[in-house]
Amino acid sequence: MIAFFFRKFDRMATGFVILLAAIAILVPVLNLAVPEGSPFHIPTYLVSLWGKYLAFALLAVALDLVWGYCGILSLGHGAFFALGGYAMGMYLMRQIGTRGVYADPVLPDFMVFLNWKELPFTWYFFDHFAYAVVMVVLVPSVLALVFGWFAFRSRVTGVYLSIITQALTYALLLAFFRNDMGFGGNNGLTDFKDILGLSVQAPTTRAALFALTAVFLALGFLVARAIVVSRFGQVLAAIRDAESRTRFLGYRVESYKLLVFVVSAAMAGIAGALYVPQVGIINPSEFAPSNSIEAVIWVAVGGRGTLVGAALGAVLVNFAKTWLTGMLPEFWLYGLGALFILVTLFLPKGIIGALTSRFGRPGDGGAQ
């Protein structure tokens, strides 16, 4: 499989990984080593902003893996992202210790405010980083496993599946809004101080988080790529093109879907965990159905079924969002809607899809 993996490793994929490696090194250097007056200096706020874009890019790659390669249009991938984010946020909350407003050594501020006397069991062990990291991957994966097991076994497909994924994230949104869930309710988790003993505000920590996000995006991309070029990936594409044909050829379609869905959810969870320390807050609005739909638009804009395109779309659309919400905040949603319509009409394969079908050899860019 290894040899096969490299044989199919085209120029675009190589270029993408090299680019990520380069920015993982360059951006921290330009931020930390170049003095502030220099035109080459990158300010810390931009480092975190682009770190956020890269976390979104990892979410987009995860979504493209299930949507672009297996035809599972998940409109609830934001839920897996947010769960990974909450797991990281819970670790960060427990690192605050006595530095909170109420200075309780164990209970986070919102629990003291709610007059709770002891830590709920869901928060046990979250003071250990390793435990939090395991939960970042485990919680989204288990949710995807249970949800997928029921949905795929009952052969829910197409628009019906999209609707129940949307319901899933909406249900979690409502649940996390409740104070008695014990995850900070409406306000979510914020006011973070340290991660692994380093201040989350420090420029060095921010630069390290950025580099780490770039590395995880590259790793996530390589895992997704290894999956789609394997025989497993070929079966996924077969399921996407003709599910019943694949089934009658003797493939147990639901196991294939379930496996790729769980891998994708784990990847989305990691993306959420990288996102939270860089933006400094996680609250229930991350579960909002519109977030998941936005992620689908990133993938569509960049190029569904191309992986690189998904990452590119996430960065481009979010860059446009930052820019436009700064200039004309009330027009962003119209802009996003117009973008989706224009891409669907004029670039049905997205940016990368359009570029490869014009200039590329067949086989470049993954999906054909």
Binding site for other proteins (CB under 8 A): 1, 4, 227, 230-232, 234-235, 237-238, 240-242, 244-253, 255-256, 259, 367-368
Task: Tell me if 24 sits within 8 A of 214, measured CB to CB.
Answer: yes
Question: How far is the C-alpha of 143 from the C-alpha of 175, rounded, in Å?
Answer: 15
As measured in angstroms, the least distance from the Cβ of 8 to other proteins is 13
Residue whose CB is less far from other proteins, 121 or 248: 248
Nearer to other proteins by Cβ, of 294 and 364: the residue is: 364
> Judged by CB, which is closer to other proteins: 79, or 229?
229
The alpha carbon of 102 is separated from its chain's Cα centroid by a whole number of angstroms, namely: 33
Report, in Å, the least distance between residue 231 CB and other proteins: 5
For the chain, what is the radius of gyration of the CA atoms?
A: 21
198 forms bridges with which residues in the sheet? Answer: 195
Q: Which is nearer to other proteins, 4 or 160 (CB)?
A: 4
Least Cβ distance, residue 69 to other proteins (angstroms): 10
- Between CA 103 and CA 89 the distance in angstroms is 18
CB 95 within 8 A of CB 195: yes
Distances (CA, A) of 319 to 26, 100, 289, 291: 19, 34, 21, 15
Measuring CA to CA, how many Å separate 38 from each of 32, 33, 34?
12, 11, 7
Q: Considering beta carbons, is residue 1 or 327 the nearer one to other proteins? A: 1
Cβ-proximal residues to 13 (8 Å cutoff; 6+ apart), any chain: 221, 225, 307, 308
Q: How far is the CB of 140 from other proteins (least distance, A)?
A: 19
Per DSSP, the three-state class of 222 is helix
What sections of 179-288 are H helices per DSSP? 203-229, 231-241, 243-248, 253-279
Q: In this structure, how many other beta carbons lie within 10 angstroms of the beta carbon of residue 133?
A: 15
Q: Which residue number, 235 or 288, has a Cβ lying nearer to other proteins?
A: 235
Smallest distance, other proteins to C-beta of residue 157, A: 15
> Whole-number minimum distance, CB 258 to other proteins, in Å?
8
Contact 264, 78 (CB under 8 A): no
282 - beta bridge partners? 189
Least distance CB 246 / other proteins (angstroms): 8
Provide, rounded to whole angstroms, the least separation between the CB of residue 357 and other proteins: 13
239 or 312: CB nearest other proteins: 239
- CB within 8 A of 252, min separation 6: which ones? none
Tokens of 91: 């670790």
Pick the closer one to other proteins by CB: 57 or 299: 299
Q: Of 29 and 249, which has the nearer Cβ to other proteins?
A: 249
Q: Could you tell me how far CA 18 lies from the centroid of its own chain?
A: 21
At closest approach, how far in Å is the CB of 12 from other proteins? 18
